[in-house]
Amino acid sequence: MSFSSEVKEELAERIGTARHCRLAELSAIYTAQEGALRGDVLVLKREPVLADRKFFTILKKTYTIDADLIAEGEIKGKREELQEICDTLKKPTVLSACCRRAYLRGVFLCAGSVNDPSKSYHLEMACRDSTQAETVSDFLAKEEIRAGRTERGGRHVVYVKGSDRIVTLLGLMEAGRALLKMENERVMRDVRGNVNRRVNLETANIGKAADASARQIEAIRFLEKHGGTEDLPASLQEMAAIRIRHPEATLEELGSCFRTPVGKSGVNHRLRRLIEAARVRGFESKEEEEETLS
């Protein structure tokens, strides 16, 4: 089951206790589902089965009417009663915060989708028309959730990006389980991201250390072929011998190999002096040759 489906399954279970909240959600579903009255049948034209069933459930809890769900999206009852209900739902009165949230829940149930949080953070609601899109955008703004709008396939899409905003909206719509799942996934993504950054950094550092070691050994071999290292200070001769014996050692490990241990900065200084001594005799590393040619 997709994350969107999980969210909708959870929202389908949430039914407000207050009549005004139920009316707000009924209005949202009625509008999003392009509700219309055909004789004595109230028809919800779009396909979401969960929304159809929830609409009927709330309808029966909110109004004392004799009506039946005769098919998916089709509610049969007395025409006069259904007509009065439809007229009410076409022009919802949504004044309180709880009603706004119920309305948003209804719209998402019908026309919403949200990406798997393990991949990206994007939630949207494909509204029936610009009027409903404007209402959704306004309600989100009142909840301090910044949203964008676009048109796609004849639908007016309101979208929300960013994990914090989507988590806030899931909470407002009372999708608690989905909210926790998203929060857990967000934590895991952050952990994986931190681990990957550290691994990449360590890999880069290892690569730099390997390149530096290769350049140092290349310079020492050059010195050995062009006059040797006998004329160098004893400290550099010892440094050269240790580096040749331990090509993969770190600066700290190299320092511990001296008769009198040397710190990292001291090792680094001696290696630089070896390279400079090789350059005096005409040494150029492969890296330097490539830079010269370019």
Where along the chain do the CATH 3.10.28.10 domains lie?
3-174
Candidates 54, 90, 92; CA nearest to 73 is 54
Along the 294 residues of the chain, how does pLDDT read in single tens digits? 899 999 999 999 998 889 999 999 999 999 888 888 899 999 888 767 888 889 999 999 998 888 888 888 889 999 999 999 888 888 767 778 999 999 999 999 999 999 999 888 999 999 988 989 999 999 999 999 999 999 998 889 999 999 899 999 999 999 999 999 988 887 877 777 787 888 888 888 888 888 888 999 999 999 888 888 888 899 998 999 999 999 988 999 999 999 889 999 999 999 999 999 999 888 886 554 433 333
| CB atoms near residue 238 (< 10 Å) | 18
Q: Which helix (H) or strand (E) holds 163?
A: helix 163-172
Q: Give the CATH class of 3-174.
A: alpha beta
Residue ranges of E strands in 120-277: 122-127, 148-152, 155-161
Query: How many contiguous H segments (helices) and E segments (strands) does the chain have?
Result: 12, 8
| CB atoms near residue 138 (< 10 Å) | 12
Whether the CB-CB separation of 30 and 44 falls below 8 Å is answered with: yes
Question: Model-level pTM?
Answer: 0.67
| Rounded distance between C-alpha atoms, residue 156 and residue 115, angstroms | 18
Whether the CB-CB separation of 118 and 192 falls below 8 Å is answered with: no
> Letter for the amino acid at 81?
E
